[in-house]
Amino acid sequence: MIGKLDDYLRFHESALSLRSTRQELLASNIANADTPNYKARDVDFASALKGVLARGEGVAPALKGTAARHLPGNGVAATAAGAGAKVDTMPDGTPLLYRAPAQGAVDGNTVDMDLERNAFADNAIRYEASITLLNGQIKSMLTAIQGGQ
């Protein structure tokens, strides 16, 4: 019985955990907007969630550059500094990405405050939506248990 409840709530548990960690990353980016040579970091939320759900928990699949000259997609894997380098990961094993800068800065900082603020607000709204959906699931389970009174 408990296993079925876990399965029923696993999606929202995983989504909330990933959203929380992403919010911390985005807040760190904003806090370091004036730090020289700071590289903005993010996570590919969709692939991270798919990876966590596919395995129950664990490392999400990600593309990894094996040479410094490889072209990045939306984010560059943390191993872009060189093949065999240690990959920074989130607590669940999802690799952290460096955000590709839209415009370079003289001090080497890649934080774009407009992009970071938008991502922060979007992530916060989606976090709240997940909580609302989870609350609805719990209420429907309670209704089923109590017999729809």
> Tell me: the pLDDT tens digits for 8-29?
788 888 889 899 999 999 999 9
Q: Read off φ and ψ for residue 19, nearest 5 degrees.
A: -65, -40
pTM of the predicted model, to two decimals?
A: 0.71
- Tokens, residue 76: 């560059």
The pLDDT value given to residue 91: 62
The pLDDT value given to residue 61: 39
Instruction: For residue range 66-106, list pLDDT tens digits in order.
Output: 666 665 554 444 444 433 444 577 666 677 888 878 777 88
The pLDDT value given to residue 132: 94
The pLDDT value given to residue 1: 62
Residue 6 pLDDT greater than 90, yes or no: no
Which one, of 25, 20, 149, lies nearest residue 99 by Cα?
A: 25
* Mean pLDDT, the chain, whole residue set: 79
Cβ atoms 75, 44 nearer than 8 A: yes
**Start-end of H helices in 32-112:** 45-55
CA atoms within 13 A on the CB side of 77: 22
The pLDDT value given to residue 85: 41
Which has more confidence, 91 or 52?
Answer: 52
